[in-house]
Amino acid sequence: MEHKSSPCLVVLIMLVIGWTTMPQSPAQTPGDGLQAVGQSDRTIWNGVTVSADGRIFVNFPALSPRPHESVGEIGQDGKSHPYPAGEWNSWEPGKPVEHAFVGTNAVRVGPDGALWVVDTGTPSFGAETLPNAPKIVRIDLQQNLVTRIYPLGPEAALPNSYIDDIRFHGHLAYLTDAGVPGIIVLDLTTGKTRRVLDHDRSTTGTRPIVVDGEIVRGSDDKPLLINTDQMEVSPDGKWLYFQPLAGPMYRVATKWIDDPLISNVARHVAFWYDTPPLGGTAIDAAGNLYLEDLTSDSILKLTPGQHLTKVIQDHRLHWVDAPWIRDGKLYLPEAQLDRAEQFHRGRSMIQWPLHIYTYQLTLDDPMREHSGSSASHAKKFE
């Protein structure tokens, strides 16, 4: 999940959220196939990623109280341990921000096998970005060392930005901005950035987030509106799917956003599907999108032909955020973000502990993940 709407955004709140095609297959029996592989007793995580050799990494956003770690690796004890070692996980207000995690929001094993971390540069939810703090950090998992930092300067990360997530396409990375509506294109070779679709209807959150029949509200008690959030690249690299958190989903051909000479990307964007509010998404090698439906604690599957089915429904999958696919399994981090004190009138209602669950996909699902690109450019980014 992932951030606030612009304070100046004026929207029409929809009282009823629906989508065009209801899932056509019944949910499985609650509890079928869910296995816990990680547990957090006191800190909210909002993302998981798994390396080719099975190492599990998680992300802890800068919610109140601040987490004792920003990025962690799940150990044999099922608990998270700060990763990498050193000063990266020990930032405090007033300390230098260039080589420390200030407020992370996403972790992802990239097509090059490295761990990529999105640091929003915001010290707390709703705060402005700190100068020189927003960045993308690449960590070599063989050396367990940071090998490159991509600063996101003021032309990319604006004062009210909340850099949300990352996906890859060749030598480019795409970043969603959930604070100021838009998508950031990062050249992984040069480090240069540019913004596209700023304040476009496709990137602007106008729907409230409804969970358990209630509208999620911010600290000001107004409906929380989240801009550009979920994003996936198709396995063939031709399409970028994206949406505000509460939907709907759009898509655009990557050729239109990859070319810096294209000035009007918006005219190439098309409506794709009227999705419900989503905590997170994942995509497999066949192009099937897995959607975490916040309204029903469910995982939905949306095929490239726009056929929607329900994979599993279970009360333990409450606000799953940023799931991952590896070796035929869905990794599902339970976040319960709507129950955090920031979104629940200053009182935490989280039901501890939180878990990371796995769910084995059926045999008709591809048994490998899709990370968004090939690894052919890996050497260039080190």
Assess if residue 213 is contained within a domain: yes
Q: Report the pLDDT averaged over residues 130-139.
A: 98
Q: Tell me the C-alpha distance between 213 and 194, whole Å.
A: 38
The reported pTM is 0.90
Q: Within a domain: residue 174? A: yes
| φ, ψ (nearest 5 deg) of residue 58 | -135, 165
Structure tokens at 319: 């606000």
The CATH number of residue 210's host domain is 2.120.10.30
11 domain residue, yes or no: no
Ramachandran category for residue 264: left, alpha or beta (phi over 0 → left; psi -120 to 50 → alpha) = beta
The pairs formed by 18-23 with CB atoms below 8 angstroms and a separation of 24 or more are 18/274, 18/276, 19/247, 19/248, 19/273, 19/274, 19/275, 19/276, 19/308, 20/273, 20/274, 21/306, 21/307, 21/308, 22/308, 23/298, 23/300, 23/308, 23/309, 23/310
Per residue in 221-235, pLDDT tens? 899 999 999 999 999
Residue 7: per-residue pLDDT: 39
In a domain, 199, yes or no: yes
Structurally, the chain folds into a number of domains equal to 1
Of all residues in the chain, what percent carry a pLDDT higher than 90?
A: 79
Examine residue 333 and state whether it is found in any structural domain, yes or no: no
Strands annotated E in 11-59:
35-40, 48-50, 56-59
Q: Provide the pLDDT for residue 168.
A: 98
- Per-residue pLDDT tens for 30-88? 557 999 999 999 999 999 999 999 999 999 999 877 888 999 999 999 999 999 988 99
> Is position 88 within any domain?
yes
Mean pLDDT of 170-192: 98
Q: Are strands 308-313 and 298-302 parallel, antiparallel or unpaired?
A: antiparallel
Give domain status of residue 136, yes or no.
Answer: yes
Calculate the average pLDDT of the chain: 89
Asked if residue 258 belongs to a domain, the reply is yes
Q: Which domain holds residue 254?
A: 45-275+363-381
Structure tokens at 291: 């959607």
